Chain A
């Protein structure tokens, strides 16, 4: 057998939000169907750099390991993607791993995406039910609506669409594609539609839908293949109609 294959991984390290950043390189033993999470675990088990220097295990977020919880987004070879589904064999080496740049850094690869959850609050991303006691069945929903809504409800709040958006940055508070798409989802539902105008109004506030400049990066970066550009267009149409009507009707 040939000598064991190695995987070279280069990780951007930063001990905290205010510390300086540096890159560390690691050489790991290759195994079949290895992904980036396995690399990070290998490093945790033996935190020694390629140069033989002792270091600390890497901080990062992960949970489901099957691309459904949205925890493990990071920049892998410069692109925002999920670490658990990033297979080593499909990546160019050395694999460069860095934290997302549009969210406050916690440590190493872990970032704070609270902004997205706050935005969900602001647009009332929920169905306003009266209570959890027994009130009978929900409204009928046609299979067509279901087939449109289901993909939208797959958003895992990973933040990739914000990370790749040129309009999301420190100069402005753009909520990003995910939130706009959620507004479309809730406005589509028969009960959710009861808050439709509030959601649209929220999206016409500072950092709202107007910040979108149609670069359409979001739709390429979304691991769930959500039709984000379609969502943005539809919500945009509803929004200006509401603005115009509100203005005409006073």
Chain B
């Protein structure tokens, strides 16, 4: 029998889970990643992972987890697969537990759970404040085990450039570039799974890691892979402002009792500790008495923006509010939140156990992503699958905290076997594809490199990127106004023009990071436009997408998935209905019981 071959691009949680599943099926996998997979962005996840195990006897159930997820996502997610995810979640925790994740424990030796945003239950399993790191390592270790048994071959330090798609529109492999030798090569495979993560870099500064550029998603998009719900971008309410990165201050800080406040009087210049209780404005608790500090992210973010920009109550007139954990016993803080508090201390030089932290919202997560079907993570191009943050399936218009890790692992767990099944059923595998198809794709990519290296111009890719980030952050995040969105799109197109005059200032053929970045930048700009145009078109407010001119959710016209397509070298928006067969949409309100 023909031995199929699978390529996985991306080694975060989703990619590693996919890899393990394929290796378990006895099929060889090539795993590509820009960074050594152990350094993938998933390590940044702090707070935890959701599963309704009802370990605290609060009557939590899978159905409630499902309902919270759909409701939190403002009814934009296709429901059946989300339900399957919530059903699978407890099993996923068990699996991770078996893999040796050092989850926090109860005195009985069982897993401990904490509360997270958008729910009233203790549903979030956690390993200190570095849950993502711990989960990623567990999967990384399993992949290393398969690698040492020869089932997995890693290509770390290689970047995906494009898919190899034959005349019949079937994917037959990838074209990738070694980031040291800068050599461009093609690799044949019967099926590909993409797990390339988020796209924070499009917004310049975000809570994401450096390699989260969305570049592969954009490259695939330009090869005919549809992109869905791009306009849904989650802005996290609490991040530490910084010039290189907006470092997240996890929701778990509030889950453990952290409170958000500002001085009631904007003129109050006293040190936070000397401001008496009565003169502090705990605005989340006052505005949303039921969920208090744990309202979903979009709501908390808008509340902070309102405090700072409308009420003018930001600390010292700056765009910042206090996130206060100083009233929590030090021992609890050290045991449950040490990792994140250390980040604050390290990067701000202030001990958050003693002084309230100053935080402000930051771009954090993309709900939108590669379009996949509602059964098995397949995209619209035969042979290409996607899982993890790079696809759009699970979180609708807004993701709940601690739901991403579970969706990454669940999605990867489906995508792997689906790709195997597809590859096994292929009548003709990649090996029968004429080599001319591969050569043509490689040439196309080599020519791109050559052009970039040899062109003379005046533009610097980093400058262009900063400008892109500024436009996107200002107009396409928390508050969206059509006029501004139009302007933003025009600005991006100007940047695209200017990028044709990029001067690389490095023409080396060895480890040329500038060349790769310039390539990524081109792709980022395409995805930036997909996001902006999607936002412009959607005249309603839903989840993370908020338009003051259209402040209500409009189910009659907009309860539909945006599906962007690449037609004649341009973006075309199409729409398709959302599967709401399980829970009927109802208004989403966090100021009262739902």
A residues near B (Cβ < 8 Å) are: 15-16, 31, 33-35, 37-38, 41, 44-47, 54, 56-57, 59-71, 84-85, 87, 106-108, 110, 113-114, 117, 120-121, 124-129, 131-132, 134-143, 146, 149-150, 153-154, 156-157, 186, 189, 191-192
B141, A35: Cβ atoms under 8 Å? no
Residue B8 at the chain A interface, CB threshold 8 Å: no
Q: Which residues of A contact B138 (CB under 8 A)?
A: 127
B100 adjacent to A192 (CB under 8 Å): yes
Q: Are A67 and B346 in contact (CB under 8 A)?
A: yes
Q: Which of A66, A129, A139 contacts B343 (CB 8 A)?
A: A66
B289 within 8 A of A: no
In the complex, the answer to whether B510 meets A66 with C-beta atoms within 8 Å is: no
B32 at the interface (CB under 8 A from A): no
Please measure, in the bound complex, the distance between the C-alpha atom of A97 and the C-alpha atom of B475, giving whole angstroms. Answer: 38
User: When the two chains form their complex, are residues A41 and B43 in contact, meaning their CB atoms are under 8 A apart?
Assistant: no
**Chain B, 104-127, CB within 8 A of any chain A CB:** 104-110, 127
Partner of B105, one of A117, A141, A186: A141
Write out the residue numbers on chain B whose beta carbons fall within 8 Å of the beta carbon of A135: 94-95, 98
In Å, the complex CA distance between A136 and B39 comes to 29
Q: Does B141 contact A71, Cβ atoms closer than 8 Å?
A: no
Cross-chain contact B109 with A143 (CB below 8 angstroms): yes
When A57-B513, A69-B209, A106-B180 are in contact, do A146 and B103 touch as well, CB less than 8 Å? yes
Q: How far is the CA of A215 from the CA of B82 in the complex (A)?
A: 53
**A117-B144 contact, Cβ under 8 Å, with A56-B505, A70-B39, A137-B94:** yes
Checking B17, B142, B209, B245 against A129 with a beta-carbon cut-off of 8 angstroms, the contacting residue is B142
Among B35, B100, B343, residue most surrounded by chain A Cβ atoms (within 10 Å): B100
Residues of B within 8 A of A15 (CB): 508, 510
* 18 CB-based A-B contacts, threshold 8 Å: A31-B243, A41-B462, A44-B514, A57-B514, A60-B513, A66-B44, A69-B41, A71-B35, A85-B346, A114-B36, A128-B145, A129-B95, A129-B142, A135-B98, A138-B97, A142-B105, A143-B106, A156-B43
Distance in Å: Cβ of B151 to nearest Cβ of chain A:
13
Q: Taking A71-B39, A85-B346, A117-B144 as contacts, is the C-beta distance between A132 and B244 under 8 angstroms?
A: no
Residues from chain B with a CB closer than 8 A to the CB of A85 are 346-347
Q: B242 and A33: CB pair below 8 A?
A: yes
B211-226 interface bits toward A, Cβ cutoff 8 Å, 1 = contact, 0 = none: 1000000000000000
Q: Taking A110-B511, A132-B21, A138-B94 as contacts, is the C-beta distance between A66 and B109 under 8 angstroms?
A: no
Judge whether B427 is part of the interface by a CB distance below 8 angstroms: no
Given A126-B142, A132-B413, A143-B107, answer yes or no on A64-B102 (Cβ-Cβ < 8 Å). no
Asked if B247 is at the interface (CB within 8 A of a chain A CB), the reply is yes
How far, in whole Å, are A41 and B210 apart by their CA atoms in the complex? 12
Closest chain-A Cβ to B297's Cβ sits at a distance in Å of: 19
Chain A residues, Cβ within 8 Å of B209: 63-65, 69
- B3 at interface by CB-CB < 8 Å: no
**Stretch of B128-136, B227-235, B315-323 with 4 or more beta carbons under 8 angstroms from chain A:** B128-136
Contact across chains for A37 and B94 when beta carbons are under 8 A apart = no
A34 to B242 Cα, complex, angstroms: 9
B20 touching A132 by the CB < 8 A rule?
Answer: yes
Take A34-B243, A38-B244, A191-B98 as given contacts and tell me if A68 and B24 are in contact as well, using a CB distance cutoff of 8 Å.
Answer: no
Chain B residues whose C-beta falls within 8 Å of the C-beta of A154 in the assembled complex: 130, 133
Structural contact, B144 and A125, CB atoms closer than 8 A:
yes
CB-based contact B100/A140 at 8 Å:
no
Let me know if A68 and B130 touch, CB within 8 A. yes
Contacts of B266 in A (CB 8 A): none
B583 on interface, CB distance cutoff 8 Å: no
Kindly state the separation between the CA atoms of A142 and B510 in the bound complex, as whole angstroms.
50
Chain A residues contacting B99 (CB-CB under 8 Å) are 127, 129, 138
| Contact between B347 and A66, CB atoms less than 8 A apart | yes
